[in-house]
Amino acid sequence: MTLTELKYIVTLAQERHFRRAAERCFVSQPTLSVAIKKLEDELDVTIFERNRSDVRVTMAGERIVSQARKVLEEAELVKQIALEGKGQINLPLRVGAIFTVGPYLFPHLIRNIKPIAPEMPLILEENYTGVLRQKLRNGELDAIIISLPFEEPDVEIQDLYDEPFEVLIPAEHPLAKQEKVTRKQLEKENILMLGEGHCFRDQVLNACPGILKHSDETSLPQGTSLETLRHMVASGLGITILPSSSSDKHIYDSDTLVERPFAGKTPYRRVSLVWRKRFSRPKAIAALVQAITSCALQGAASV
Amino acid sequence: MTLTELKYIVTLAQERHFRRAAERCFVSQPTLSVAIKKLEDELDVTIFERNRSDVRVTMAGERIVSQARKVLEEAELVKQIALEGKGQINLPLRVGAIFTVGPYLFPHLIRNIKPIAPEMPLILEENYTGVLRQKLRNGELDAIIISLPFEEPDVEIQDLYDEPFEVLIPAEHPLAKQEKVTRKQLEKENILMLGEGHCFRDQVLNACPGILKHSDETSLPQGTSLETLRHMVASGLGITILPSSSSDKHIYDSDTLVERPFAGKTPYRRVSLVWRKRFSRPKAIAALVQAITSCALQGAASV
DNA sequence: TGCTTGCAATGGCCTTATGCTATCGTGTAA
DNA sequence: TTACACGATAGCATAAGGCCATTGCAAGCA
């Protein structure tokens, strides 16, 4: 049984005439005759009662033809769905981002992708780089937003923007009175840090190698998110270092917390989009990149 | 797009592994690979994301596969329905009978066919021989029950039973006192007849050629059915001739109406079943014949 | 590092399926 | 009778669909 044969019987049932039905199927009359016979033999049912003057659908044939029509309709839907799928940007896209990017990027992303790909809902997730990598690899995520360095086989990486770090200080702290903060000065302070696993932690330690020892000695609590750190700074536990995007807007005013840039070479992180090389929706990725780079993140420099 | 290809993608989506999926489809792995690729090319959508370690269904693929599953289900139903249709006696059968047979045969027929073909409802119709012939020819009826003679090309005829005629007489009529009635005696009576078109009318005239002239002279009313004739006989308009099956049971008792056989050679009619030579359900016809011949109609002789 | 393994893709070949044209047999109409 | 229309059949060409053997690639193992 083939879809062609089903089309043949549906058409013949309509036309009740082999030659006309054959024409409508764009085949010759013998082709139709043989195909019909073949299907009847296979199903072992007479679908059409032939008569020199007339072709009639049998009682059993009626039911078969009507079911065949259903099959053809469903098959037509396959093509329809495929056509929709071709657009690539009208299906959900599963996007992950590291904890220190997601909360600040996603709101802008959602807003900016609407006009570009209104039919492409984003399924979002925040997680550690390692978890995101795993989920990208096994297909649970289509694209992830991480911070370099990032090594992984069979993926494409598109750099999105560079984001400077800044120091978050309680307003009454002596350092708050300075325009800029030097790395040397930080080494004498209690620097609140994110826990292990957050790549931002490593990046901060990389940018200010001197602070680790000090923080270890005082065994300060480790933040579970940038916002947690912010709260702890506000409560006077110490100071911290944040990526600039995280100071976009928050609940503390400048009487409580102030941000100060680094003196000298500004440390920064590079945020990138990663997807599987064989991922089948380049248009969806392009839309995502466009939406993110047009975010004009506060203090971020597009690359 | 073929049903085979759809089966392939459904299986591959389940197995996520070409070789295993190929095995389950009873084809070689290359066959599967090529077929999948062909379908993807045709639909112009990547359904599967291949990876050395894994085969994954894409977002668009998910929807296509699920629709493909629907198509296969519906296609499976075609086979199912064909299988049911093969039984031949589990679909309605459209049966017509002449006016002078239907009312007396149908009740028995319905009762008797139940055990033989419980799944085959009968769509019944009463009409003139000519109309039945036409409806049989153009497929509106599957079988008709008529009385011979009947000539028609491309049909099969199965004789069912012979049915004697008898005379219906008001109880107070002089003839009612006789055991039998001769044709000679009938010629002097008012014989009530069915109207033109009823073959029974012709058969009666054939059996008793002498009565026509007489009836014409008195211009008696023509009956529209055997029951109408019976009522008119009861009301004293005359006497009539009926096939024996019609006196099976009715509302008049023997104080009002009596039936009398013919003296001499008993006239009778032969009732037969007719269907198109190419009609595709011989089993249904056989069931019908069996049901009718087992009716043991009162006074009827099976042939 | 090299070797082996497992996977999907590819190439070459064969068989079957599916299509065509030409023709037949048979009822129907002129 | 001829002519015609219809569906069935025969014979042939080609495309589709299948197989086996092999390739290319990545991963795991020694």
Amino acid B164 reads: P
Alpha-carbon gap: A28 to the closest alpha carbon of chain B (Å):
21
The residue of A2, A45, A65 whose CB has the most chain B CBs within 10 angstroms, and thus the best one to mutate to test that interface, is A45
Distance of CA B1 to the CA centre of its chain: 41
Q: For tokens 């799944």, what's the residue?
A: B119
The C-alpha atoms of residue B158 and residue B273 are separated, in whole angstroms, by 5
Is A297 buried (19+), middle (13-18) or exposed (0-12) by CB count in 10 A? buried
Tokens of A94: 């599963």
Mean pLDDT confidence for A2-17: 87
Query: What is the reported pLDDT for A299?
Result: 46
Tokens of A180: 């800029």
Q: At what angle do helices B29-43 and A59-86 cross, to 10 degrees?
A: 70
Q: B213: number of CA atoms within 13 Å, CB side?
A: 4
Taken in order B198, B199, B204, B209, is the CA torsion positive or negative? positive
Amino acid A88 reads: Q
Q: For chain A, percent helix, then strand, then coil, each to nearest 5? A: 45, 20, 30
Residue A301 has pLDDT above 70, yes or no: no
Amino acid B237 reads: L
- Residues of A in Cβ contact (< 8 Å) with B44: 82, 86
Tens of pLDDT, residues A173-200: 777 777 777 877 777 777 878 877 788 8
* A200 contacts A269 by C-beta, under 8 angstroms: yes
Which residues sit opposite A302 in a β-bridge?
A161
Mean pLDDT of chain B: 82
Tens of pLDDT, residues A53-80: 778 888 888 888 888 888 888 898 888 8
Q: Do B60 and A142 touch (CB under 8 A)?
A: no
Tokens of A187: 């080494």
Distance of CA A207 to the CA centre of its chain: 30
Q: Report the distance from CA of residue B153 to the C1' of nucleotide C28 in Å, as an integer.
A: 13
For the residues of A4-64, what is the DSSP string, one character each? HHHHHHHHHHHH--HHHHHHHTTS-HHHHHHHHHHHHHHHTS--EEE-SS-EEE-HHHHHH
Q: Report the distance from CA of residue B61 to the C1' of nucleotide C11 in Å, as an integer.
A: 28
CB atoms within 10 A of CB B126: 18
- Nearest-CB residue to B139 (from A44, A56, A280): A56
The C-alpha atoms of residue B147 and residue B98 are separated, in whole angstroms, by 8
Query: What is the reported pLDDT for A58?
Result: 85
Strand boundaries in A78-130, DSSP class E: 93-98, 122-127
Q: For tokens 């289900």, what's the residue?
A: B73
Tokens of A173: 């702290």
Tens of pLDDT, residues B241-297: 888 887 766 667 767 787 878 877 888 888 999 888 778 788 888 888 888 888 764
Residues in chain A: 303
Q: Do B81 and A63 touch (CB under 8 A)?
A: yes
Question: Closest nucleotide to residue B25 (Cα to C1')?
Answer: D18
Q: For tokens 């095995």, what's the residue?
A: B23
**B21 Cβ neighbours under 8 A, 6+ residues apart:** B8, B11, B12, B14, B15, B32
Q: Nearest residue of A to residue B154 by CA position?
A: A51
Q: Nearest residue of B to residue A63 by CA position?
A: B81
